[in-house]
C-alpha cells in the first residue's frame, strides 16, 4: 500500500467513524438511547485499526514532549467524574502527577480511613464515612484581580450536593460542606473580582447551580405535582465555607460563570419548561441564560426579604421570572437562548458571555454591559443583550477563549473543535455579510464534551493550548476491555490553524479541567509539625496510654524504624493510634498498615495522622511501612500484640 493509499484509507476511516458516531448520538436524542446505537458497533461500522498521524506533521510532535528531568509548563487540574476525585496532569506532556481524593475512599493515602479525613468527609454515628461515593464535575481555583492566586481549588459533588475546598500548597482536600435543599449540584464557579476586604487575598464567594428541580421542601409532599418543582442557585462564602444565600429560580441550572467586576453570576439553563420527564424538557425553542445581580440579592438578604425552606436556616430570595418583571428592582435577568444550552463562559476581557445551544447549531454571545443596562431599566428586552448568534456546528457545548478575541467551542455531534471570532460574529449579527466568523475547524476523536484553553478562565488567557476532553476513544489506545480509556487531546492554538499534537489517555470519566501556569502554584515540600495538634514531636513521647478500655498508642517513624518495637493491647480495646513522620527529607513518606484490621495510611515528612479501631482479634499483627522509604524498608515494622 502506498502512502497515498494510507492517507485515503485514513480519510475514509474518519468519515465513516464520524457518520457512525453522529448517527448514534442523534438516535439518543430522539429517545431511542445512545446505548442502542453503540450496541450495534461492529468491525464494519468502526474499524479497529487506529488512524496514523500525517507524515508531514510527525516531525513536529517532538517539540511538545517534555524530556526526562524537565518540568511541564502548565498544570491541568481535572475532575475525576464518578471516581469522586480530582486529578493533576502536567502539560504539554499529559503525565498524570497526582490524584487528590475528595469524595471517595482512597487506600493509597488512607483517605476515609484516618480520623482526620473522616472529620472532613463527615461520618455516620458508627464512625464510618457518611458517603463513600461522589461525582466531581467542575474544578476552579480562587481568584485575585481576575486571575488565579494559587490559594484554593473548589470542586463539586453532583450526587450528594457537596462542595469541597482543596488547599493548593498541599494539594489536599481540607473542607467539605453539604448544600441544603438541592440535588444535582453541577456547575460551580468562584467570584473573579477583587476582594472587598483588602486583608483577604483570595475569592470571597463560590456560586453553585443545582441541576435537578425538586418539590420544596423535599419532604414527601407534592411528589407528582410538577408545578411545585423548583431549582435553587446557591452562594457559598469561600473563607468560612458557610452557605450565604440561595435564589429560587425557574429552570434547571447547568454551568456557572462569573463576571470580572463582581456584579453578575450566570448559569445557562435548560428545562425552562419545568418538565419532570426528559421528553418534556425539549419542547421550547428558547431556554435561557440566567443572570444574578449579586449586590441586589445581598441587599435583599440583609433587609430580611427572604424565606427559609424546610429545616434549613439558609435565607432564600425569590428569583423566579414572575417575581422579577421590573428590571429596576429585579434580582435576576432571564436572557432567552436556543435550545437546551450547555455551557456558559466569559471572555478574558470581561465583555461577553458565550452560551452554546447544544440542540441548536448556534452559540449566543451575550454582552455584559447590556445585561447591566437591563437591570438599570435602559434595555427594553433582555433578549437584546444577545449581540451575536453564529451558526457554528452540531452539538455545541463548551467554549474557551484565547488572547486574540477568538472562541473555541466543542461540537459534540460533529466531533470537532470550531474556532470563531467574537467581534466578527457581532458584525455578522448586525448584517455584515463579509464578516469571517468561523476561522478554523479541527477533528477530534471522538465527541468532545468539555474543552478549555490555557489560562482561558482568567484575564491572562495566553492562547497557547486547547484541551478537548472526548467521551469516546474507541481505537485511539490499546484495548483494555469494555470500559475504554478516554482522550484528552492537546491542540496547539497559537497559530492561525489549530494543530492536534497529542493524545493523552485519561481514566473515565473526567468532566472539566483548567490549565494553570506552573509559576502560579507554590506547594510545600514538607509539612510543619506545629500544624498538627496530635503530633508526637519526640520518639521519647511514644508509648501506650490507657484510660480504661480506651487506649492511645503514640508512634513516630524515622527511616528505617518505628519508635516502638511492639505495643500491647487487650481484646476489646478502643484504640487510637497516632503516627508522626519525623523525617525532614523531601519525598520521604512512610506508610502504616495493620493486617486484618483494614487500616492503611501514609504520613508525609513532618505530618501526623491518626486512626481509631477496635482491637477485637487476639494475636500478633505485624504493622509495617507500606511506602518504600529506605534500603531497610522491608525491615521497618512493629508488632501489635492483642492479648485474649
Give one DSSP letter per residue of 589-633, joined into a string.
-EEEEETTTTEEEEE-TT-EEEEEEEE-S-EEEEEE--S--STTG
Cα(234)–Cα(40) distance, rounded to whole angstroms?
43
Q: First vs last Cα of the chain: how many Å apart? A: 76
CB 186 within 8 A of CB 156: yes
**pTM confidence score:** 0.91
**Res 10 pLDDT > 70:** no
Please give the pLDDT value at position 39: 31
Question: Could you tell me the CA-to-CA distances from 514 to 40, 86, 451 in Å, in that order?
Answer: 35, 11, 9
Q: Is the dihedral of CA 335, 348, 344, 330 positive or negative?
A: negative
pLDDT of residue 137: 95
- How many Å apart are CA 569 and CA 640, to the nearest integer? 7
pLDDT for residue 13: 40
In the predicted structure, residue 339 carries a pLDDT above the cut 60: yes
Provide the pLDDT confidence category of residue 54 given band limits of 50, 70 and 90: low
pLDDT value at position 11? Answer: 44
Map out the domains of the chain as residue ranges: 3-52, 529-643
Q: 401: phi > 0 → left, psi -120 to 50 → alpha, else beta; which?
A: beta
As a whole number, mean pLDDT of residues 429-455 equals 97
Residue 172 burial class via C-beta count within 10 angstroms: exposed 0-12, middle 13-18, buried 19 and up: middle
CA dist 430 to 157, 338, 389, 435, Å?
Answer: 42, 19, 10, 10
Phi, psi of 469 (to 5 degrees): -90, 110
Is-contact 262 294, C-beta < 8 A? yes
User: Long-range pairs for 216-219 at CB < 8 Å and ≥24 separation?
Assistant: 216/181, 216/248, 216/309, 216/310, 217/181, 217/309, 217/310, 217/311, 218/181, 218/183, 218/310, 219/310
Contact 594, 569 (CB under 8 A): no
Kindly report the CA angle at 600 between 599 and 603, in degrees rounded to 5? 130
**Distance between CA 90 and CA 411 in Å, rounded?**
25
Q: What are the respective helix, strand and coil percentages of the chain, to the nearest 5? A: 15, 40, 45
Alpha helices in 176-293 (DSSP H): none
- DSSP labels for 52-74? PPPHHHHTTGGGGS--TT---SE
Give Cα 249 to chain centroid, integer Å.
24
Residue 8 has pLDDT above 80, yes or no: no
Q: State the DSSP H helix or E strand holding residue 324, giving kind and residue range, or none if neither.
A: none
pLDDT band at 32 (very low <50, low <70, confident <90, very high): very low
* Tens-digit pLDDT profile for residues 479-503: 999 999 999 999 999 999 999 999 9
| Mean pLDDT, range 151-176, rounded to an integer | 98
User: What pLDDT does 34 receive?
Assistant: 35
What per-residue confidence (pLDDT) applies to 285?
86
Residue 81 DSSP label: B
Question: What local confidence, expressed as pLDDT, does residue 474 receive?
Answer: 87
Are 103 and 94 in contact by the 8 Å Cβ rule? The answer is no
- At residue 196, the pLDDT reads 62
pLDDT digits (tens, 9 = 90+) for 367-424: 999 999 999 999 999 999 999 999 999 999 999 999 999 999 999 999 999 999 999 9
Summarize the confidence of residues 438-466 as an average pLDDT.
Answer: 97
Q: What is the C-alpha to C-alpha distance for residues 458 and 149, in angstroms, rounded to an integer?
A: 11
Per-residue pLDDT tens over the stretch 221-276: 999 988 889 999 999 999 999 999 999 999 899 999 999 999 999 999 988 878 88
Query: Are 93 and 65 spatial neighbours (Cβ–Cβ below 8 Å)?
Result: yes
**Alpha helices of 31-169 — where are they, by DSSP H?**
34-39, 55-58, 115-121
SS3 130: coil
Band the pLDDT of 428: cuts 50, 70, 90.
Answer: very high
- Mean pLDDT for all residues in the chain: 90
Angstrom distance (rounded) from CA 487 to CA 218: 39
pLDDT exceeds 50 at position 38: no
| Nearest of 58, 25, 97 to residue 414 by alpha carbon | 25
Query: For the residues 196-209, what does the mean pLDDT come to?
Result: 79
497-536 pLDDT, tens digit per residue, is: 999 999 999 999 989 999 999 999 999 999 999 999 999 9
Q: How sure is the predictor about 83, in pLDDT bands with cuts at 50, 70 and 90?
A: very high
Q: Give the distance from CA 177 to its chain's centroid.
A: 16
Question: Which residue, among 123, 183, 129, has the nearest Cα to 156 in the 3D structure?
Answer: 183
Q: How far apart are CA 148 and CA 516, in angstroms?
A: 8
The CA distance from 611 to 628, in Å, is: 21
pLDDT at 31: 45
Contacts of 575 (CB under 8 A, 6+ apart): 551, 552, 553, 569, 612, 613, 614, 615
Distance CA 353, CA 331 (A): 19
Report the C-alpha gap between 248 and 317 in whole angstroms.
6
* Mean pLDDT of all residues in 166-185: 97
- Residue 206: closest CA among 134, 270, 150, 139: 139
Nine-digit cell at 277?
Answer: 420527564
Q: Is the peptide bond before 476 cis (omega within 30 degrees of 0)?
A: no
Of 157, 156, 95, 150, nearest to 131 (Cα)? 157
Q: Is the pLDDT of residue 454 over 50?
A: yes
The dotted CATH code for 529-643 is 2.60.40.420
Which pLDDT value is given to residue 128? 86
* DSSP assigned state of 403: S
Amino acid at each position: 500500500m502506498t502512502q497515498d493509499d494510507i492517507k485515503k484509507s485514513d480519510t475514509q476511516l474518519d468519515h465513516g467513524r464520524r457518520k457512525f458516531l453522529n448517527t448514534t448520538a442523534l438516535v439518543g436524542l430522539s429517545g431511542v438511547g445512545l446505548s442502542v446505537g453503540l450496541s450495534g458497533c461492529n468491525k464494519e461500522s468502526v474499524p479497529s485499526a487506529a488512524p496514523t498521524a500525517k507524515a508531514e506533521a510527525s516531525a513536529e510532535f517532538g517539540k511538545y514532549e517534555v524530556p526526562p528531568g524537565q518540568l511541564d509548563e502548565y498544570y491541568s487540574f481535572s475532575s475525576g467524574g464518578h471516581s469522586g476525585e480530582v486529578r493533576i496532569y502536567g502539560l504539554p506532556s499529559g503525565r498524570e502527577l497526582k490524584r487528590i481524593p475528595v469524595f471517595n475512599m482512597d487506600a493509597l493515602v488512607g483517605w476515609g480511613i484516618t480520623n482526620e479525613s473522616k472529620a472532613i468527609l463527615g461520618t455516620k454515628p458508627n464512625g464510618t464515612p457518611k458517603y463513600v461515593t461522589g461525582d466531581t464535575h467542575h474544578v476552579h481555583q480562587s481568584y485575585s484581580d481576575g486571575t488565579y492566586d494559587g490559594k484554593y481549588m473548589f470542586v463539586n459533588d453532583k450526587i450528594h450536593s457537596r462542595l469541597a475546598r482543596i488547599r493548593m500548597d498541599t494539594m489536599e482536600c481540607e473542607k467539605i460542606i453539604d448544600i441544603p435543599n438541592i440535588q444535582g449540584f453541577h456547575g460551580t464557579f468562584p467570584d473573579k473580582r477583587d476582594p472587598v476586604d483588602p486583608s483577604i487575598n483570595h475569592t470571597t464567594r463560590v456560586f453553585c447551580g443545582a441541576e435537578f428541580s425538586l418539590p420544596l421542601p423535599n419532604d414527601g409532599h407534592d411528589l407528582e405535582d410538577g408545578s411545585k418543582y423548583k431549582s435553587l442557585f446557591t452562594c457559598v462564602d469561600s473563607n468560612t465555607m458557610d452557605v450565604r444565600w440561595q435564589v429560587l429560580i425557574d429552570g434547571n441550572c447547568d454551568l456557572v460563570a462569573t463576571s470580572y467586576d463582581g456584579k453578575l453570576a450566570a448559569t445557562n439553563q435548560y428545562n425552562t419548561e419545568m418538565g419532570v420527564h426528559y421528553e418534556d424538557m425539549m419542547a421550547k425553542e428558547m431556554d435561557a441564560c440566567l443572570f444574578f445581580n449579586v449586590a441586589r440579592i445581598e441587599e435583599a438578604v440583609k433587609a430580611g426579604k427572604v424565606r427559609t425552606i424546610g429545616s434549613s436556616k439558609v435565607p432564600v430570595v425569590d428569583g423566579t421570572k414572575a417575581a422579577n418583571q421590573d428590571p429596576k428592582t429585579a434580582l435576576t435577568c432571564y436572557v432567552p437562548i436556543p435550545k437546551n444550552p450547555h455551557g456558559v463562559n466569559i471572555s478574558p476581557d470581561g465583555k461577553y458571555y458565550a452560551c452554546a445551544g447544544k440542540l441548536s447549531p448556534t452559540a449566543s454571545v451575550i454582552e455584559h454591559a447590556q445585561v447591566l443596562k437591563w437591570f438599570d431599566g435602559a434595555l427594553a428586552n433582555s433578549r437584546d443583550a444577545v449581540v451575536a448568534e453564529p451558526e457554528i456546528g452540531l452539538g455545541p457545548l463548551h467554549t474557551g477563549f484565547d488572547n486574540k478575541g477568538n472562541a473555541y467551542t466543542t461540537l459534540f455531534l460533529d466531533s470537532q473543535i470550531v474556532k470563531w471570532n467574537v467581534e466578527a460574529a457581532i458584525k455578522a449579527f448586525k448584517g455584515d455579510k463579509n464578516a469571517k466568523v468561523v476561522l478554523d475547524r479541527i477533528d477530534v476523536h471522538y465527541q468532545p464534551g468539555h474543552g478549555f484553553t490555557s489560562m482561558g478562565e482568567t484575564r491572562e488567557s495566553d492562547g497557547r493550548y486547547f484541551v478537548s476532553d472526548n467521551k469516546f476513544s474507541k481505537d485511539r489506545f490499546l484495548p483494555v476491555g469494555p470500559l475504554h480509556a478516554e482522550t484528552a487531546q492537546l491542540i496547539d492554538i497559537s497559530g492561525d490553524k489549530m494543530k492536534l499534537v497529542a493524545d493523552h489517555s485519561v481514566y473515565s470519566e473526567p468532566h472539566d479541567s483548567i490549565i494553570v501556569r506552573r509559576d502560579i502554584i507554590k506547594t510545600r515540600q514538607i509539612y510543619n509539625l506545629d500544624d498538627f495538634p496530635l503530633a508526637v514531636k519526640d520518639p521519647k513521647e511514644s508509648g501506650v496510654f490507657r484510660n480504661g478500655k480506651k487506649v492511645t498508642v503514640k508512634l513516630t517513624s524515622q527511616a528505617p524504624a518505628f519508635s516502638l518495637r511492639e505495643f500491647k493491647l487487650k481484646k476489646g480495646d478502643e484504640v487510637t493510634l497516632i503516627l508522626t513522620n519525623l523525617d525532614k527529607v523531601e519525598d520521604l513518606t512512610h506508610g502504616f498498615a495493620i493486617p486484618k484490621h483494614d487500616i492503611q495510611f501514609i504520613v508525609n515528612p513532618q505530618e501526623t495522622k491518626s486512626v481509631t479501631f477496635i482491637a477485637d482479634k487476639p494475636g500478633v499483627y505485624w504493622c509495617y511501612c507500606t511506602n518504600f522509604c529506605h534500603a531497610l524498608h522491608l525491615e521497618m515494622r512493629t508488632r501489635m500484640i492483642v492479648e485474649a
